[in-house]
Amino acid sequence: MSAVLAFKPVPRTIYMSKAEAPSGARKFEVTCSSCNLRELCLPGALAAEDMARAENLVYARRRVKRGEALFQAGAEFNAVYAIRSGFFKTGLVDGEGREQVTGFFMGGELIGMDGIGTGTYHGSAIALEDSEVCILPYTLIEEMAREVPALQRHLHAVLAREIVRDHGVMMLLGSMRAEERLATFLINLSKRFVRRGYSASDFHLRMTREEIGSYLGLKLETVSRLFSKFQDEELIEVEQKHVRILDIAGLERVLAGK
Amino acid sequence: MSAVLAFKPVPRTIYMSKAEAPSGARKFEVTCSSCNLRELCLPGALAAEDMARAENLVYARRRVKRGEALFQAGAEFNAVYAIRSGFFKTGLVDGEGREQVTGFFMGGELIGMDGIGTGTYHGSAIALEDSEVCILPYTLIEEMAREVPALQRHLHAVLAREIVRDHGVMMLLGSMRAEERLATFLINLSKRFVRRGYSASDFHLRMTREEIGSYLGLKLETVSRLFSKFQDEELIEVEQKHVRILDIAGLERVLAGK
DNA sequence: CGACCTTTTGAACGTATTCAACCGATGTGG
DNA sequence: CCACATCGGTTGAATACGTTCAAAAGGTCG
């Protein structure tokens, strides 16, 4: 359908991990314990001793330029990725060509878990800005999860958290009206930015109206109209991709059905 | 909102596992290796020697009567359940009282994984007919996953499969029209019944139109109308909860946008 | 600077919802 | 065991919400 979402396989240069992370440099660069996203990430929430071992999970890093795929649906699965910086969307295309954005992901969040079990990624992940990810090879994760119970537990928690997140999206898509969906989306983004030390009320949308629409089960025109409406109601200020939330309580009131 | 979906906490008798499975009897009764759902279940797909160990995963069984909750949202998490017989719906209620059915589950399928990580179940599971489940205590799963790599891998696969399933539902809710949703639903049910040795074309719906509607993001009247429409088009025959698929290819054509 | 992509807004339209009435099935208590 | 109440399902008519089609303006990038 639309090439805009770009979830379909396209020929592109694959950034080899080796290129970014020469074996010599790696050990010094890759230190989860000093990463400021440590609290949010997979190796996070581990005791100091475990953390030291968990650092070996990160095989290397990889840079992904805006518009590029970190992985494509159907590609061979062998690693999960932790976002170190940047912003991604994940999504899939079905047999009839329908596209669906399944999520937006930022620093400290893990993507690629949909590949576990089948050996191929089920969906695609595309960078919405120049990004960098830590590569966590699945065989390493498996191994270490056996040896470090805290990591095992944490891994399960991360997988379960994704399931819970998905159920939230189902609620959004299945039971909310358009306004409620967009309000939920903005509140959710705001919360996630805050946890990362950014402003709760003032941020830059990395995705297009079409991508927001796909995620929320709406058309891009509807998303645009709703932004204008929220602006008229003085809940937010929008100028292109820049959003400023003026009245969080007001947005929450939208959720409560006015 | 509606008491119909019954996802809200209600006082009810909890069936104690001990009552169903006196410690003496248990060992003889609970044998995954002879269970006919073994292929689909968690201990499934393990080599004979691993299977013997994995059987210890099943702490006990529990019967759940139609209409009863296997677990409620917010209840303390300590086990995952494998459905041995019967039929369940899972769902949740948000802060505003919106209800969303997140899935329907049948023999051999696992539910309750949304409780991993947080210590409490995120959603509820309610039996749509008298059912029996195997109780897999999470601490046991953790332990054995460390010792039996095949089980570890299988567990991850089950969790990932749930994520993939959820993404499919997002696609359904976000990108499909009402007819396409119902056709997808029927085709999916049909496939799952076949794998369990039931007819692909002739089955009994355990859920109400309202529950189907909630799952598909539609109102019950719309679901009812669509059933009638499909019947008029000679794709199916419906009489109350009994469905007979007359033209699977026709249903698949509905998905393809006619 | 020019081509293309993204966003906005209007007007007409269509799909699914809402409200309402009715029927049949199911289950309970007298 | 039947009567009656309740629940689940169907269908019609009016309505509403979000979509579609269209045009134009504003950004962005090579």
Residue A156 pLDDT > 50, yes or no?
A: yes
Residue B15 pLDDT > 50, yes or no?
A: no
Q: pLDDT-derived band of residue B258, with 50, 70 and 90 as boundaries?
A: low
Which pLDDT value is given to residue B33?
Answer: 81
Query: Residue with structure tokens 């051999």?
Result: B108
Cβ(B245)–Cβ(B235) below 8 Å = yes
Residue A8 pLDDT > 70, yes or no?
A: no
Cβ(B200)–Cβ(B194) below 8 Å = yes
Q: Nearest C-alpha of chain B: how many angstroms from A231?
A: 24
> What is the average pLDDT score of chain A?
88
Which pLDDT value is given to residue A35?
Answer: 85
Q: pLDDT-derived band of residue B146, with 50, 70 and 90 as boundaries?
A: very high
Q: pLDDT-derived band of residue B6, with 50, 70 and 90 as boundaries?
A: low
Which pLDDT value is given to residue A13?
Answer: 34
Cβ(A170)–Cβ(B170) below 8 Å = yes
Q: pLDDT-derived band of residue A71, with 50, 70 and 90 as boundaries?
A: very high
The residues that bridge with B10 in the sheet, in sequence order, are none
Residue A79 pLDDT > 50, yes or no?
A: yes
* Helix pair B178-195, B220-232: axis angle to 10 deg: 80
> What is the average pLDDT score of chain B?
88
The model's pTM: 0.90
Residue A99 pLDDT > 60, yes or no?
A: yes
Which pLDDT value is given to residue A101?
Answer: 98
pLDDT tens, position by position, B42-86 = 887 688 888 877 778 887 899 999 999 999 999 999 999 999 999
Sign of CA dihedral A104, A38, A190, A179: positive
Which pLDDT value is given to residue A40?
Answer: 86
CB contact under 8 A, B167 and A102: yes
CB of A213 within 8 Å of any CB in chain B?
no
Which pLDDT value is given to residue B42?
Answer: 85
- What is the rounded average pLDDT of the residues B88-93? 97
Sign of CA dihedral B169, B37, B155, B5: positive
**Distant-in-sequence, close-in-space partners of B213: CB < 8 Å, separation ≥ 6:** B219, B220, B222, B223
Which pLDDT value is given to residue B76?
Answer: 97
Q: At B141, which helix (H) or strand (E)?
A: helix B138-147
User: Which residues 122-141 of chain B have a CB within 8 Å of chain A?
Assistant: 122-123
**Distant-in-sequence, close-in-space partners of B243: CB < 8 Å, separation ≥ 6:** B186, B202, B203, B204, B205, B236, B237
Q: Nearest C-alpha of chain B: how many angstroms from A92?
A: 8
**Distant-in-sequence, close-in-space partners of A211: CB < 8 Å, separation ≥ 6:** A4, A5, A89, A101, A104, A128
CB contact under 8 A, A122 and B164: yes
What are B175's two structure tokens?
């990108």
Tell me, what DSSP letter sits at residue A77? P
Please give the full DSSP string across A165-181, using - where no structure is assigned. Answer: HHHHHHHHHHH--HHHH
Residue B28 pLDDT > 50, yes or no?
A: no
| SS3 call for B218 | coil
Of A208-212, B27-31, B43-47, B225-229, where does mean pLDDT reach its minimum?
B27-31
**Distant-in-sequence, close-in-space partners of B182: CB < 8 Å, separation ≥ 6:** B212, B216, B218, B223, B226, B227, B230
Can you tell me the distance from the alpha carbon of B242 to that of B240, in angstroms, rounded to the nearest whole number? 6
CB of B164 within 8 Å of any CB in chain A?
yes
Of A64-68, A174-178, B28-32, B108-112, where does mean pLDDT reach its minimum?
B28-32
Which pLDDT value is given to residue B7?
Answer: 67
Q: Calculate what percentage of chain B has a pLDDT beyond 70.
A: 88
Which residue from B91, B96, B83 is spatially nearest to B42, judged by alpha carbons? B83
Q: pLDDT-derived band of residue B189, with 50, 70 and 90 as boundaries?
A: very high
User: CA geometry: angle at B163 spanning B177 and B89, to 5°?
Assistant: 70
Cβ(B257)–Cβ(B180) below 8 Å = yes
Which pLDDT value is given to residue A21?
Answer: 38
Q: Nearest C-alpha of chain A: how many angstroms from B28?
A: 30
Q: At A64, which helix (H) or strand (E)?
A: strand A60-64
Burial of A143 (0-12, 13-18, 19+ CB in 10 A): middle
- What is the rounded average pLDDT of the residues B219-237? 97
CB of B257 within 8 Å of any CB in chain A?
yes
Task: Report if CB B190 to strand C is under 7 Å.
Answer: no
CA atoms within 13 A on the CB side of B62: 23
- Candidates A116, A158, A166; nearest CB to B166: A166
Which pLDDT value is given to residue A53?
Answer: 80
Which pLDDT value is given to residue A155?
Answer: 95
End-to-end CA distance of chain A: 36
Which pLDDT value is given to residue A177?
Answer: 97
Which pLDDT value is given to residue B23?
Answer: 37
Q: Calculate what percentage of chain A has a pLDDT beyond 70.
A: 88
Which pLDDT value is given to residue A30?
Answer: 63
Of A67-81, B45-59, B106-120, B183-197, where does mean pLDDT reach its minimum?
B45-59
Cβ(A251)–Cβ(A187) below 8 Å = yes
CB of A244 within 8 Å of any CB in chain B?
no
CB of B175 within 8 Å of any CB in chain A?
yes
CB contact under 8 A, B173 and A170: yes
**Distant-in-sequence, close-in-space partners of B176: CB < 8 Å, separation ≥ 6:** A98, B184, B255
Residue A3 pLDDT > 50, yes or no?
A: no
Which pLDDT value is given to residue B10?
Answer: 35
Cβ(A121)–Cβ(A74) below 8 Å = yes
